[in-house]
Structure 1
């Protein structure tokens, strides 16, 4: 039996369910395939930095597969529509009896996979699908009424019980029977995506780099609960791009956390907090499956469709450029613009600033993030934006609105992060960075060219409160 493995966002050899089971079953070789769909990726707002990172990791994957006699074929096709015929005809051409792939949960991707499976069945090719992007499958956690959870805390309790059976890692496959099928070359450029501004040095591709980062984080995971909200220190794992592309698996991350705490998360607050982030990742994926509307630009809380958002392009552009006059907000947006990544605390701060202080539609911000983030993931990005905008499941209450100055004083007290990304503020005393009146005075005294506040904090906050109260 010859197997074909369809790689998507699972660009690794280790602990890869589809690859593992294909190699276990095949006795006449395994063939890999990856589809490049630029029009579809563009429609899904995938960032150039993200697409470049994918392609670089596909090249690394091809090399790794080659060492175990698995060729990787590249299918270039503009959109998902052509994949049922492309994938299945390629499988038939190379006499593959079965197709293996790991599940994707977004609406378009799920429909694409169903269409491919249907086309494969017509050709007598057996399809095998696996849960791999999550630790606990979305449909295995239900309320007593058989429904999907919409609140994180009770979901987490059940997740903790289920996860005990999901911690075993799958072995990397051994060499397979040789085939006479050569690997395709992996392109370095993709039509419609400009990689010239992508700083790939920040995110070296490959499984080895992902494992190195996980190992490095293991050494200070115990401090994660204390350091994760301080953007000026390397207190997080910086693994999100690798997780989003599947260069490392969430199970590998969980296994490392359990190793740090000796199997008991209650003994290590840092490891416990980090595992909670892995749980949030599963939770938002389950929301995506249980409530498909969030994949279709709809709020989870349908009544919030009645919010009268301000379609103010001038304010939005100031936010995008990091020119709002609020140092912590501007620093976060400039980090995103310069690196394709943003510290998680700052993602919440800038998202709430846009949706509350500026009362601009969260969908504008969600799309802007996806257009730039190297770790852009629909479930996590949508979940985070709807949490900040108070339109989503388990979202922050609408009357809880972050004060940018309080946030920077608490999490960037010395202004180190702000001054790294807003260097024009390097001579402003830290105390002034965290106070509206002191900042204006300092800027005037030092004669610094820095934008005025795009909105008065108190007025913006009250405007949001009034609008949310109205509905």
Structure 2
């Protein structure tokens, strides 16, 4: 009897899982599933404790689901990718695996690991991967020179043209195998890795994620999102990123839910429906970019001149930013939301990142790593892309004078201060007119306001970063 093995990675779902679907197509084959935890590798890649626990919870869920289907699930924990390959090769030999199925991961180390596995198994076991974590396969969206786009808008236009030609139907979950149900459910032992329970905002299981997706895709929710997605005090975002990051949801499922309810989603790009779909295209874009420029996985900026920036090494300023003690309320509220919940609103990701890089002149890579260590929706491609966009070192970078004013941003996107007061209780008594600059409130000295003075003058910081960036560009030109 033929033995097929499904190697789960960041695709922790039964529905619309290409590797699982094709492994189960042969009704007579024995199908095994394996997940191999690599805590030391996770540490190198800065996986957050909340995401680690979210993964563990979903593995426990899947273990029970696979047992119902008559599919044997195996779980193993080792140190890193090298040990992972050693164990997997031995497992394939012991179980006499004929065919191993997996969905691609797009980071450099992961892709190199998969290539090593194929070389190692040789002709004994066929390795087959699938572009399951993106809407469009990698390297399928190229410009007229057959190169990957460096700017988002032309990529999106080409993406949408190809999307109309693509079959994006979701794959069904596997049917129960002909053999009897598995008697023993696979035990998922605790990871040798720090974990933090995500909390009630992140229920476990595919149905919970799909239910949230269906609810969000109703017309009124999408309309609220279109008009309020930049206002952090409003609960209008989908919050689906945590399930997408570990593959409990697929991007195809998101697209299909939108398309089934709004057939015009691809036609009217100014519609309220397209606003959220555009976020899914950005998600694809950053994955395509990372595959085309693997140096992004090795802490390199996309733009060469950015290697010459003289970043400031100031741990006290960095710690103040991490702790939400910068003296700029919108930045501090954002950072406290991140530390306490493992999630941060997208507009606040931009504001807080800009403050670290442009106001404090601290290397964007320190902020990128800190976000990865905190976020339940940690995603290297999206996180790296977002940080480099803000730092003006990545793709789609506008001229490097884009510097967010944290006070202006706070007034614009939290005008009534609802979000700030939620996360900065020490500012609840500050009048609205002074809330975004509490250091100017005359009453502060009488009430004993327990809030820091601004740690940097924004106007001076803006002038400084422009000078530093200009000098970096000049040094880059001189080195050629």
TM-score, scaled relative to structure 2: 0.94
In structure 1, the partner of 2:147 is: 147
In structure 2, the partner of 1:390 is: 392
Distance 2:173 2:30 in 1: 16
In structure 2, the partner of 1:323 is: 325
In structure 2, the partner of 1:34 is: 35
User: Which residue of 303, 308, 312 corresponds with 1:301?
Assistant: 303
Shift of 1:459: 1.0
> 2:67 touches 2:183 (CA, 8 Å); kept in 1?
no
- Find the residue that maps to 2:368 and give its secondary structure: helix
In structure 2, the partner of 1:423 is: 425
Shift of 1:431: 2.4
> 2:301 touches 2:307 (CA, 8 Å); kept in 1?
yes
For 1:343-375, what per-residue CA distance to the aligned partner results, in whole angstroms no more than 9, with x for missing partners? 110000000000000000000000101111111
> 1:74 touches 1:184 (CA, 8 Å); kept in 2?
yes
Distance 2:91 2:184 in 1: 13
In structure 1, the partner of 2:336 is: 334
Does residue 173 in structure 1 map to residue 178 in structure 2? no
Shift of 1:118: 1.9
Does residue 3 in structure 1 map to residue 27 in structure 2? no
Distance 2:183 2:84 in 1: 20
> 2:255 touches 2:277 (CA, 8 Å); kept in 1?
yes
Does residue 377 in structure 1 map to residue 379 in structure 2? yes
User: Which residue of 287, 296, 301 corresponds with 2:289?
Assistant: 287
Structure 2: stretches of 5+ with no match in the other structure: 474-480
For 1:23-57, what per-residue CA distance to the aligned partner results, in whole angstroms no more than 9, with x for missing partners? 11352221100001000001111111111111111
Distance 1:89 1:177 in 2: 27
> 1:28 touches 1:177 (CA, 8 Å); kept in 2?
no
- Find the residue that maps to 1:381 and give its secondary structure: helix
- Find the residue that maps to 1:24 and give its secondary structure: coil
Shift of 1:443: 3.0
- Find the residue that maps to 1:201 and give its secondary structure: coil
Structure 1: stretches of 5+ with no match in the other structure: none
> 1:12 touches 1:248 (CA, 8 Å); kept in 2?
yes
> 2:24 touches 2:31 (CA, 8 Å); kept in 1?
yes
When residues 396 and 105 of structure 1 are mapped into structure 2, their CA distance, relative to the original with a 3 A threshold, is: same
Distance 2:167 2:359 in 1: 42
TM-score, scaled relative to structure 1: 0.95
For 1:70-90, what per-residue CA distance to the aligned partner results, in whole angstroms no more than 9, with x for missing partners? 121012110000222311322
Shift of 1:437: 6.1
In structure 1, the partner of 2:64 is: 63
Range with bigger deviation, 272-281 or 262-271: 262-271
In structure 2, the partner of 1:216 is: 215
Count of residue correspondences: 466
- Find the residue that maps to 2:25 and give its secondary structure: helix
In structure 2, the partner of 1:132 is: 132
- Find the residue that maps to 1:171 and give its secondary structure: coil
RMSD (Å) for aligned C-alpha atoms: 1.6
- Find the residue that maps to 1:185 and give its secondary structure: coil
In structure 2, the partner of 1:115 is: 116
Shift of 1:182: 4.7
1:63-462 alignment runs, 5 A limit: 63-122=64-123, 124-164=124-164, 165-178=166-179, 182-187=184-189, 189-195=190-196, 198-219=197-218, 220-267=221-268, 269-435=271-437, 438=440, 440-462=441-463
Range with bigger deviation, 159-168 or 291-300: 159-168
For 1:96-151, what per-residue CA distance to the aligned partner results, in whole angstroms no more than 9, with x for missing partners? 211000001101100111112222225x1111110001111121011111111110
Distance 1:395 1:431 in 2: 34
> 2:19 touches 2:130 (CA, 8 Å); kept in 1?
yes
Shift of 1:435: 4.1
When residues 254 and 443 of structure 1 are mapped into structure 2, their CA distance, relative to the original with a 3 A threshold, is: farther
- Find the residue that maps to 1:53 and give its secondary structure: helix
> 1:3 touches 1:26 (CA, 8 Å); kept in 2?
no
> 1:99 touches 1:128 (CA, 8 Å); kept in 2?
yes
Shift of 1:378: 0.6
Shift of 1:181: 8.4
Distance 2:470 2:443 in 1: 36
